[in-house]
Chains A and B, each alone.
Chain A
Amino acid sequence: MSTVDPVTPVLTKRWLSPRSWSIQTYEQLEGYTALRKALTATPEQIVQVVKDSGLRGRGGAGFPSGLKWSFMPPNEDKPHYLVINADEGEPGTCKDIPLMMADPHSLIEGCVIASYAMRSHHCFIYVRGEVLHCIRRLNAAVKEAKAAGYLGENILGSGYDLEITVHAGAGAYICGEETALLDSLEGRRGQPRLKPPFPAAAGLYAAPTTVNNVETIASVPYIINGGSDWFRRMGTEKSPGPKIYSISGHVERPGQYEAPLGTTLRQLLEMAGGMKDGIPLKFWTPGGSSTPMFTAEHLDVPLDFEGAAEAGSMLGTTAVQVFNETVSVPWAVMKWTQFYKHESCGKCTPCREGTYWLVQILERMVDGNGTEEDIDTLLDVCDNVLGRSFCALGDGAVSPIQSGIKYFRDEFLALCQKNREKNRKPAMAGAN
């Protein structure tokens, strides 16, 4: 088998085409051929192809998608729902919004196929509210698809019906957590629900529901057309397929690079033209701020689900945020912690109180008023948040702090050192 190229445009292959978002362009470039094909198969066969492909959720957790779909009940005692998680708010993550802007029909086609496979007749796309142009493009795509017979009643004469509703959120990171998203979609405050029951048993309106990420569902038409073996030619055994790596920060050419899973930062940096102005790399996140940071030691870690985890982090959303030597780690950690504090939904005590106190301590340190004991206090508070919070936001909140201190304790210490010297100043007056 021949080797695979470093960049493998699948999801991004239409993005260079003029008016790539229109149904005309989409249809010219194989658009909706996978749907025609899928409608000749049974729902079970589609679930099986997706299982065979090894596709794993692109929303952060990497749960096997085919397996998730198979949890949906085979009967239709209650309506089934597919809900697309397009809330993209994890700091650093910027792949779903460009995908939906550039090629909304690939998501729509994926929604129809996935809904058919899960016997759903109403699909919701929950998009964060702040991305108006993206919402506009999705709405237009739904309209176009309906007019062309790919959506609505009796799709392509198959007897299968599906409605898609595009729903704008209103600014809350926590609504990306799938059960908080469902509450939000029901018109409530976006706060996570207790699991079980899982959404496949009782999700939207307490009916069987699957929540999937945009990139996950947009991958489905290609898997239907290319088959599971083709999909597996990219990526690794346990993390197959292409993946959009979003490179941001101090690199020469930040942007979206679709490469096989398992690509390393060294390879990504080569694609992105290297570090900006040649200033050396200091730290980076493999998949958003909730994934523990890496350093220059980790340039060759394969960025797939297993590789990132073995190296002590997580693949997350493949939001590769690159920071050079000019950036202070305690400052960056403080900024991220402020984010988690702001976005904590307040439902559980460890996260609500923990993030509040973590911010207080970090702000004090960055202001130059910290002590060495503060570092232990930070880690202590982190221990009380991690694993004790109601949802994964709390776990994510401690990632930057724990990993920041793990790799850059000296920088935290230096801040406290400065403080000690400052406090000693009166005694040392005249010494310099």
Chain B
Amino acid sequence: MTTSGPGQTYGGSSVTGGETYQAGHDDSTTAMDASVLSRAETTPLITEIREDLSVFDGIVDKARAIIARYPQSRSALLPMLHLVQSVQGYVSQAGIQFCARELELAPAEVSAVATFYTMYKRKPCGEHLVSVCTNTLCAALGGDEIYQTLREHLGEPGKPLGHEETAGTPGEPGSITIEHAECLAACDLGPVLQVNYEFYDNQTPEKAVELVDALRRGEKPAPTRGAPLTDFKDASLQLAGFFDRESDVEGPSQAAETLAGAQLAQDRGWTAPAMPANVAFPDLEKK
């Protein structure tokens, strides 16, 4: 899959491309001389690996559509990283090089961004990503216990699954990656978890185990708030801004908690003060 060309180095000079700043003495030679490691150890460190990017041929148009949304192309980088995750289920070296190529950035610049954000995964994800909120409030309501239970349930006996580890083979049907998440802005519905970023509210360890078992059987239980479940890659495509199913927007969102205040007001006949009719704008001339 990968090809490493001896001519390409991080210094950017090319031995085969004609003149370099020091004829016959390219960066790799300098680095080799300077290295305290052996030649064999140094070579992989200074050789740029050119990945085969053909796996992304199908998303080139989408990448360009993302770029067109912004006044400056670099702004497209975050959505584009979501986009490459929709192809491979993680951000691979190839994914980084693809973004770099499309945005005319150095791979190192893309890499620095990709590693900063928790939603970009460095290892292939399962069909589903299960994120359990273990921030303080959810944890106090049982979130820590839910996470522990899932780790053990999805792991091997005596070897619970760790953060961002996968049960099953990544990409295969029924495979599940789990992670603990920070506050997911659903504290009134805690403890919460998400599958592919759709909400499953008011969870218990039992409910969570039932949910992941169903996922492993290939079922897709409906979220409490969100659209019908698909998979991690499809969710990534949507995060890149591509929404193919119009009906998804109809997925439920009006939890009792969300509506608690509005409902209470309706029951008690409470309202905000009535607005006066036809309020004029301030006359600035007089100021």
Interface residues of A (CB under 8 A from B): 2, 4-10, 12-13, 15-16, 19-21, 41-42, 44-46, 48-49, 52, 79, 88-94, 96-98, 101-102, 122, 128-133, 135-137, 139-140, 165-173, 184-190, 205, 222, 225-227, 229-230, 233-234, 242, 244-250, 253-259, 271-272, 289, 319, 321, 323, 327, 332, 335-336, 339, 342-343, 345
Contacts and interface: CB of A to CB of B under 8 A. Distances in A.
B262 interface: yes
Contacts of A46: 281
A16 B264 CA distance: 11
A98 B275 contact: no
Given A52-B282, A133-B199, A190-B116, A234 B272 contact: yes
B182 A168 contact: no
Given A170-B82, A171-B119, 16 more contacts: A8-B273, A130-B197, A131-B185, A136-B251, A168-B79, A171-B120, A186-B75, A187-B76, A229-B276, A254-B189, A254-B260, A255-B261, A272-B260, A289-B136, A323-B140, A343-B182
Interface of B: 69-72, 74-79, 81-82, 103, 112-113, 116-120, 131, 134-137, 139-141, 181-190, 194, 196-199, 223, 225-227, 235, 238-241, 243, 246, 248-251, 253-254, 256-266, 268, 270-273, 275-276, 279, 281-282, 284, 287
B136 A89 contact: no
Contacts, number: 279
Nearest to B182: A339
A404 B49 CA distance: 51
A327 B140 contact: yes
Given A129-B82, A132-B196, A170-B120, A249 B187 contact: yes
A15 B198 CA distance: 20
Given A186-B75, A271-B264, A256 B257 contact: yes
Given A101-B253, A254-B188, A6 B270 contact: yes
Which 5 pairs show the lowest CB-CB distances between chains A and B? A255-B260, A227-B279, A187-B77, A257-B261, A170-B117
A89 B254 CA distance: 21
B119, B134, B248, most chain A CB atoms within 10 A: B119
Contacts of A165: 69-70
B250 to A, nearest CB: 8
Contacts of A7: 261, 264-265, 268, 270
Contact of B137 (A16, A91, A230): A91
A133 B251 contact: yes
A166, A187, A248, A255, most chain B CB atoms within 10 A: A187
A8 B272 contact: yes
B188 A256 contact: yes
A189 B71 contact: no
A45, A246, A255, most chain B CB atoms within 10 A: A255
Contacts of A335: 134-136, 139
A132 B187 contact: no
B119 A89 contact: no
B82, B239, B271, most chain A CB atoms within 10 A: B239
Contacts of A246: 187-188
Contacts of A19: 250
A94 B81 CA distance: 26
B113, B119, B243, B261, most chain A CB atoms within 10 A: B261
